[in-house]
Structure 1
């Protein structure tokens, strides 16, 4: 059985550093034997198909290949289309009523609990807010991520210790659902 996955690379192509051209990433993934490889934007979003069903194994294999090819380590998250659809469907904020820049999802490498964020005084950041989901954190930032004080706090290393975390805006979140829902020809 073939499954379509999304690949999310963390911290590439930011400020001219850790460059990973998407054409090279597509070529690399194809060379690893993955099918129907597509990329979205320049920030390390890709979709591919494979018969392999081990997300952690895919992350490790792609991470090794990226490091070998580009010369630096990159954290990778791999999620299947069903998971990505479930994240969109479980959004606790009214996504249809918001501008995409106001809503973000941080994907985590493993489940996190509310205890991790217990010290965050949510009331101090209103109207900004966040909610936890399945290996995901939803962030409502009315002025966008770049102006969000809550996003700064949530990104602190102490809150993300021992977990890989990478954030995407709502446009990208829904585009990844679209890319992974497409059945290869």
Structure 2
């Protein structure tokens, strides 16, 4: 049995995309996964399964979520080792940039090409730095940063993504990795 972490995209936003933690846990267990645990109500799930293919795990979860909720819930899966590395890189980036006030991580279903990663990093400004490492886009913002970055729009062009505050990333990594 392997352990995996799943991150659900765009749930509990507005009146029509409700998916409480208890329901998420029930559906994941219904797929046959075990040791299911959730963290806060933003779609963060840890579980064990004998399945080894990330794509098959994501597909099984997305199919079950659609059947239960009636709407598509895109899902991004990492191993604890992969996720611990995302948290490690985030902490390292933050430590090297004392002016950073806010930090976010855009989690990606698929790793961008070198050209896509370079294009995303080119969106950096003096008040908002974008760093791509594997299937994660780290966004580091200074207090002077105004408005939204273009990262979300650019990342969306890469396919399925979901965003988390770095504090959530760090907490999950400490708790589950």
- 1:34 equivalent in structure 2: 33
- Asked if the contact 1:9/1:44 (under 8 Å) is kept, the reply is yes
- 1:108 equivalent in structure 2: 108
- Once residues 3 and 144 of structure 1 are traced to their aligned partners in structure 2, the CA distance between those partners, rounded to angstroms, is 43
How many residues align? The count is 175
- Structure 2 residue runs of 5 or longer lacking an equivalent are none
- Asked if the contact 1:100/1:170 (under 8 Å) is kept, the reply is no
- 1:64 equivalent in structure 2: 63
- 2:171 equivalent in structure 1: 175
The 5 A counterparts of 1:60-139 are: 60-91=59-90, 93-95=93-95, 102-116=102-116, 118=119, 122=123, 125-139=125-139
**TM-score after normalising by structure 1:** 0.82
Structure with bigger RCO (C-alpha 8 Å, 6+ apart): 1
- Asked if the contact 1:101/1:170 (under 8 Å) is kept, the reply is no
How far does residue 122 in structure 1 lie from its aligned partner after superposition? 4.0
How far does residue 89 in structure 1 lie from its aligned partner after superposition? 1.9
**TM-score after normalising by structure 2:** 0.86
Q: CA RMSD in A?
A: 2.7
- Structure 1 residue runs of 5 or longer lacking an equivalent are none
- CA pair 6-119 structure 1, distance change in 2 beyond 3 A: closer
